[in-house]
Every structure is written in C-alpha cells, then in structure tokens.
Amino acid sequence: MRKTYQIIAQVIAGLVVLQAALMVWAIAGLFSWIDEGNSIDKSVVEGWADEPPTFDGAIGHFIHAFISGTILIPLLGLILLIVSFFAKVPRGVALAAAVVVSIVVQYLAGTLAEPDMPYLGLIHGLNAFILFGLALAAGKAAKDAAATPAEPAPAV
C-alpha cells in the first residue's frame, strides 16, 4: 500500500506540472492566434464549448480545465486519501488530507476566478505550487517509510 500511496502522490505532482504546461501552451497559442488578426470577445468565450477555437494549443485549455483539473486530479486526491488509511505512512493521512484540501482550493479558485473574481487566479496559481509540494512530500514520506526496516515483533 505504501508503494501505491507513493505512486498516486507522485502522479498528482506530475499532473500539476502538466497543468501548468497545458495552460502556457494554450495562452501562447491564443496570443499567436490574436497576432494573426483574430480577436477574442464575449461571443467567442461564450461559444467556446459549442464552437471551440482552432488555434494551436486550444486543446490545452480544455484538458487543463475539464479533464485533468476537474476530474483526474480530484479523483486521484480522493484515492490517495483512502489509501492513506491503509498505507501506514508516517503523517500519511495528514499529508493526503492536505493534498485534498489543496485540490478543493485549487478547483474553487480556478472556477470562481473566471466570471467575477479574476484576482482568485492569483490564488489558483500560487496554490498549484502548494499542491505540488504537498504531493511531493507525501510521495517522499511513503518512499522513506518503505526504506525504513519494520520493527521486529516483541518476543513473547
């Protein structure tokens, strides 16, 4: 179970890195699209789901927002928390719970930042580093626990 805990934590950390890369790809593609004479306005944003833009990197936004950020990372966070109860990793439950809380903050900041509170994007960006660090710490705790020899059973 420790190895499972370790792998899930490391995958979450890797997905956070992928999330950042996907957004940079999407934003760079958007700027290139604008440089080619296109413009983005409210109608483009509102019709984004029905008629997605065709610029290079546009898919990065969808993967970031819907697949990885809304489904995959939250699901893995919950699995990590469940596994933490069985993995016997020192501080494992606390680290997994902190990962889940950070995922909730990340989801809420990303979702609520879009319409009326763009300043929450700052929290979304900064919390990504927190989530990354927590996931790495959880993975390291599991790795260290696996490397520590088990205590022998007391003699009767």
Domain positions in the chain are: 2-145
Q: Is 53 left (phi over 0), alpha (psi -120 to 50) or beta?
A: beta
Q: How far apart are CA 99 and CA 93, in angstroms?
A: 10
pTM: predicted TM-score of the whole model, two decimal places: 0.85
Tokens found for residue 132: 């990354």
**Cβ atoms 95, 138 nearer than 8 A:** yes
The burial of 11, by beta-carbon neighbours within 10 Å (0-12 exposed, 13-18 middle, 19 or more buried), is given as: middle
- What are 97-109's pLDDT values in tens digits? 999 999 999 999 9
- What are 34-60's pLDDT values in tens digits? 888 878 888 877 777 777 777 888 888
**Cβ atoms 1, 87 nearer than 8 A:** yes
DSSP label of 63: I
Q: Which helix (H) or strand (E) holds 91?
A: none
Per-residue pLDDT, 150: 57
Whether the pLDDT of residue 149 is over 70: the answer is no
Per-residue pLDDT, 96: 98
| Average per-residue pLDDT for the chain | 89
